Amino acid sequence: MSGPDQSNSAVSIEHLTVSYQTKPVLVDISLEVPRGTVVGILGPNGAGKSTIIKSIMGFVPRDFGSVRIFNEPVDDACGLVAYVPQRGQIDWNFPVTVRDVVMMGRYGHRRWYQSMRALDRAKASEALESVRMSEFMDRQIGQLSGGQQQRVFMARALAQESEILLLDEPFAGVDAATERAIAGLLAQAKEQNKTVIVVHHDLETAAEFFDAVVLLNRRLYAYGPPREVLDQGLLAEVYGGKLRNLSWRQEEAT
């Protein structure tokens, strides 16, 4: 094994190649995410960001390569990762309350014939408390602000008690206050030594949220500390010609 310290590895991807029909979506991706880090996955549309998330959950057929969660093959490691979906994937009119959603985080802990126990309810309340959403327990989820909704799903992930959290575009389309709230949640998860993997779209904010950044466009272009990865030359290569606007904004900001 060539990776750095195996015992400390939360997610370990080796030579992962995934395709839809004949079109490759991910080509020969290898990376190690150490326990307790917050990693951002960046790349243009269609770069395979969601596919890599799905691979870590173990339900994408691989053409080649392996994904290991705490050194277990991902196919045996069901339930070790907690998933926070993209806002757009949720039907906000669905008749469930905040409490119902967070309790879903406990479903994986009980067999189908077992009912939820006091322990599950306690864990759910605790998770809601930790994101300061207890007072909204009985609200239908559509009647919350965007930031509160994001916190509810974060609470669900915490109630799952998984060591790895996967967040799909949590910062997409949120206002500045919500952005701060989510960043706070990431920091909080890191304090608890959770490993957090975030699909992210905004290059400008990446440096302040993540310990490490993955730059992806079907191939793995770079993986490392944000300052090194978010190098203008490399970004231009990954994003093609679409980067002019960004550099203009950065010049103006300085």
> Minimum CB separation from other proteins for residue 243, in Å?
21
Candidates 22, 113, 241, 253: give the one binding other proteins (CB under 8 A). 113
Candidates 3, 36, 65, 108: give the one binding other proteins (CB under 8 A). 108
Q: Find out whether 126 and 137 touch, Cβ atoms under 8 Å.
A: no
3-state SS, 86-149, equals CHHHCCCCCCCEHHHHHHHHHHCCCCCCCCCCHHHHHHHHHHHHHCCCHHHCCCEHHHCCHHHH
C-alpha 195/C-alpha 189 separation (Å) is 8
Instruction: Give the x-and-dash track for 18-57 against other proteins (CB under 8 A).
Output: ------------------------------------x--x
Q: Give which of 86, 102, 80, 85 is closest to 35, Cα–Cα.
A: 80
* 142 binds other proteins, rule: CB under 8 A: yes
> Which CB atom, from 81 or from 189, has the smaller least distance to other proteins?
81
Q: How far apart are the first and last CA of the chain?
A: 44
Candidates 6, 46, 63, 107: give the one binding other proteins (CB under 8 A). 107
List contacts with other proteins (CB under 8 A).
54, 57-59, 78-79, 81-83, 85, 89-91, 93-97, 100-101, 104, 107-108, 112-113, 116, 140, 142, 156, 160
